[in-house]
Copies of this chain bind each other. A is one copy, B any other.
Amino acid sequence: MESLAEKVLFDTVFGRIETSPRTIACAHKAAPGLALECHECEIKGLSICDALEPDEFDLLERIGRTVSFPAKTTLFEQGRDAPFVSNLTSGAMRLSKLLPDGRRQVVGFTLPGDFLGLAMQPTHMYTADALTPVKICQFSRHGFSDLLDKKPRLMRAVMNMASRELTLAQDQMVVLGRRTAEEKIASFLIGMRNRYARIHGASVHVPLPMTRLDIGDFLGLTVETVSRMMTRLAREKAIVIVPDGVRLLDVRRLELLAEM
């Protein structure tokens, strides 16, 4: 059974609500049917501070903090120390690995609710760049690690996220290793649609906050090939290219190409 305090804690960690040292939780996003408020928020209802045990209150205040970055900034770089783990609450990021000769592989795109630093490594395994203005909820890695030991259910939830990441990575290996350029684009678009479905519901409009170059580096293609394939799918009326994304016209056909 989950206490209200625990729920707030989990929602904070997973970016469903925002945390900062000053405004512990902006409760209006907390959960349907729940109305919480913070000392410094205007929302009416039950105070979070009432719902939290003193030690949990301290914990949240101590380890979590909301930080914003403008678009195109680098949040952290491959190889550097990783004092924080964090959770994206708004915006989109690109995670990439660079080879010494400049070739680049994008290992993933991060959307709201995704965790950064799941591997809990002391040093970053990739570079993270903001594609749009972003807000993250940041935790000291050690503090978060200690928290995991105190809250086994939280550890379980984090482990499940790591598992899901692993499964995604293995699916991407199939895409990279065994699919044609057109199939790669189709599976990318379907994949983005599915991920956005968790955020703004199922929709044929798929935002693409990244450039064609980023998509190419994610799929093991060049910019030109990405552009050609998108144009081809548009010519064949499977998609429409719109500013900042695509609209999916023939989802069935894309799914067939992607062969999920």
Contact = CB atoms under 8 A, between A and B. Distances in A.
A178 B119 contact: no
Given A156-B155, A166-B166, A220-B178, A173 B104 contact: no
A176 interface: yes
A259 B99 contact: yes
Interface of A: 97, 99-101, 103-105, 107, 118-121, 125-126, 148-149, 152, 155-156, 158-160, 162-167, 169-174, 176-178, 217-220, 259
Given A97-B170, A97-B173, 9 more contacts: A97-B174, A105-B173, A107-B173, A118-B163, A119-B167, A120-B159, A125-B170, A149-B152, A176-B220
Interface of A is mostly: helix
A112 B69 CA distance: 44
B101 A166 contact: no
B159 A155 contact: yes
A214 to B, nearest CB: 13
Given A152-B149, A155-B156, A125 B167 contact: yes
Contacts of A178: 99, 103-105, 217, 220
Contacts of A97: 170-171, 173-174
Nearest 5 CB-CB pairs, A to B?
A177-B220, A169-B169, A176-B176, A119-B163, A105-B174
